[in-house]
Chain A
């Protein structure tokens, strides 16, 4: 599909890189960095470089629905300038509400053009969830509901990338009671590969890695069971966390201002969701590899996991118990049930002694009789 004639008219990525004034060295640095991030072996560097040199740009449509744009923000702040300059800014985006210059009819025109001209070839990136309640009126662009826009755009897409937790699993908008019925993308489209790139936001390099993988190899990266690229989401934050030795030793921060916090102990007891969160934060870190939340003393909130808003509180480990209000956790309810059981057992024991008095009495008498009859 990438070799289709209409696409071939487009310049290659490398041509754009040169035009933008980057040196060959910059380009190769970018290629080796992104290849390493994708988890590929060294020999793949050449392959990726070659692909970017020879393959024409793939048109990208980037839709924004119910979201906060943190995914776009994260992407354009990706550590290597080529990511923002070439992948996003210059080369790919035929339509993206937040970054394109066009607006109004002009913009909608551009969208329609790309969709018809590159039918079956473009990548559809979706940022944000789609509200289905009230016929979708909660998010409308150019007079169309987001579900209409999504369905039209998905029709001719080669692949769909669901950016961020909103598009991958609904994120905060879908938290209970989910008034707009915010729905993630994979539940709305069928018959197209959907790559989920969860996170609030996902790490910029991860986003770039996913795109480059598609560009370089012409197919989507290997996905896990939940549809996330394995290269970035197969390890828990906990598995690559530098505070892990404190976890194993059983040394924990108890409150944010205690001595243990100063010593950099594990944040498990102040709610760290690292042990249940699949993401690359511990390895790639954020803001050009400067730090990541745990390194800054804040527990992981599990932002890349489904329903992280509803599954328990941020600063506690306690297991939530849905349906019993936010204050209830499994252990509180367990203790209540324990008390109720104790009362029930006591009640039953008393009732037994009263209600089955005769039976008990007979057994006792029978036993006593045998005792009397025995001489030794």
Chain B
């Protein structure tokens, strides 16, 4: 067995810069807060209390946290968009949008390997991408669109209660949907996207860690991924623009 064993030399690559990591974890925290408070607001618990109403503010606090988290979420999201133009190549906006043939081709390969469970040509194609793979990038792109929908509908609903000019900029949103009722329903559906996304996403992070052995899980912690030396050499020499690994 050990005769055939190919011991890899790994190179450390700094893929997720600190701003991306900070964005990521702030986003996780804030989204958990938004989903929890969102569920509460849509279906509050039955509280039995002897207190006078003036002395409690349960729904008020849930809404307060939702709105505070919403602002954080929004500005964090804006920051990430900005970083898509200034960050390193793995954070670049081109990683998310399937505009080139190469991007589409890589998505197809990822689909074959990770979903259809087909074997790569040399048995180790799963080791080829450095940042996130094209499929993941595209899913994040969809996620960003849902972020946008959530911000538009959320601030649209918030606009009539706001005194600051900023949320008022979104007052046109409910008008597009004919009113708050439908806007709220859309806001509520979209929440389910986040829940399902987060579950699949965390699973896939573990999956890639397991199948590739390059420190995927910890990459969002320290920013490092460890890629095989031959992959490194190949990308370095054959790809003029290594931002897309295949």
Q: Which residues of A contact B (CB under 8 A)?
A: 169, 225-226, 234-236, 239, 245-252, 254, 268-269, 273, 275-278, 302, 305-308, 311-312, 317-321, 330-331, 333-334, 337-338, 341-342, 345, 348-349, 351-352, 355-356, 358-360, 362-363, 365-367, 369-370
B180 touches A305 (CB 8 A): yes
Q: Which residues 145-171 of B have a CB within 8 angstroms of A?
A: 160-161, 171
Report B-chain residues with C-beta under 8 Å of the C-beta of A333: 192
Whether B199 lies near A341 (C-beta < 8 A) is: yes
Cβ of B54 and Cβ of A359 under 8 Å apart? Answer: no
How distant is A238 from chain B, measured CB to nearest CB, in Å? 9
| Distance of A369 Cα from B161 Cα, bound (Å) | 64
A352, B180: Cβ atoms closer than 8 Å: no
Which of these, A169, A250, A252, A330, contacts B188 with CB under 8 Å? A330
* 15 contacts across the A-B interface (CB closer than 8 A): A225-B171, A236-B180, A245-B53, A245-B54, A249-B51, A250-B44, A251-B49, A305-B180, A306-B182, A333-B192, A334-B196, A341-B199, A349-B203, A358-B123, A359-B124
| Nearest-CB residue, chain B, relative to A321 | B189
Q: Which residues of B contact A226 (CB under 8 A)?
A: 175, 178-179
Q: Is the pair A360, B172 in contact by a Cβ cutoff of 8 Å?
A: no
What residues of chain B have their CB less than 8 Å away from a CB belonging to chain A?
1-2, 5-8, 42-47, 49, 51, 53-60, 62, 115, 117, 123-124, 126, 160-161, 171-172, 175, 178-185, 188-189, 191-192, 195-196, 199-200, 203, 207, 210-211, 213
Instruction: Please pick, from A278, A319, A334, A369, the residue contacting B7 in the complex, using a CB distance under 8 A.
Output: A369
Query: How many whole Å from B50's CB to the nearest CB in chain A?
Result: 11
Most buried by B among A254, A311, A321: A311
Decide: B195 and A338 in contact? CB cutoff 8 A. yes
Question: Which of B55, B117, B192, B207 meets A355, CB within 8 Å?
Answer: B117
B188–A248 contact, CB under 8 A?
no
Give the residues in chain B near A251, CB-CB below 8 Å.
47, 49, 53, 56
B172 touches A366 (CB 8 A): no
Q: Please tell me which one of the listed residues A278, A334, A359 contacts residue B126 in the complex, with CB atoms under 8 A apart.
A: A359
How many contacts between A and B, using CB within 8 angstroms?
154
Among the listed A236, A268, A349, which residue makes an inter-chain contact with B44, where contact means beta carbons less than 8 Å apart? Answer: A268
Q: Is the CB–CB distance between B117 and A352 below 8 Å?
A: yes
| Interchain CB contact under 8 A, B60 and A248 | yes
Minimum-distance CB pairs A-B, first 6: A250-B58, A306-B178, A276-B180, A355-B117, A225-B175, A334-B192
Given contacts A249-B58, A273-B181, A356-B117, contact A345 B199 (CB under 8 A): yes
Set of chain A residues within 8 Å of B192, measured between Cβ atoms: 330, 333-334, 337
A363 touches B5 (CB 8 A): no
CA distance A124 to B172 in the complex (A): 28
Residues of A contacting B43 with CB < 8 Å?
269, 317-318, 331
The winner among A269, A275, A277, A319 for most chain B CB atoms within 10 A is A319
List A contacts of B179 (CB < 8 A).
226, 276, 278, 305-307
A278 to B171, CA, bound (A): 13
- Chain A contacts of B59 at CB under 8 A? 247-250
Closest residue to A373 on the B side, CB-wise?
B7
Once the chains are docked, how many angstroms separate the CA of A319 from the CA of B175?
A: 19
Please indicate the chain B residues that have their CB under 8 angstroms from the CB of A370 in the complex: 7
Contacts of A234 in B (CB 8 A): 160
For A264, the closest partner residue in chain B by CB is: B53
Chain B's nearest CB lies how many Å from the CB of A202? 15
Q: How far is the CA of A369 from the CA of B4 in the complex (A)?
A: 12
- Give B37 Cβ to nearest chain A Cβ, in Å: 12
Q: Would B5 and A366 count as touching, CB distance under 8 A? A: yes
Q: Is the CB of A250 within 8 A of B56?
A: yes
Is B184 in contact with A276, judged by CB distance below 8 angstroms?
Answer: yes
Question: A245: which B residues are within 8 A, CB to CB?
Answer: 53-54
- B44:A252 contact, CB within 8 angstroms: yes
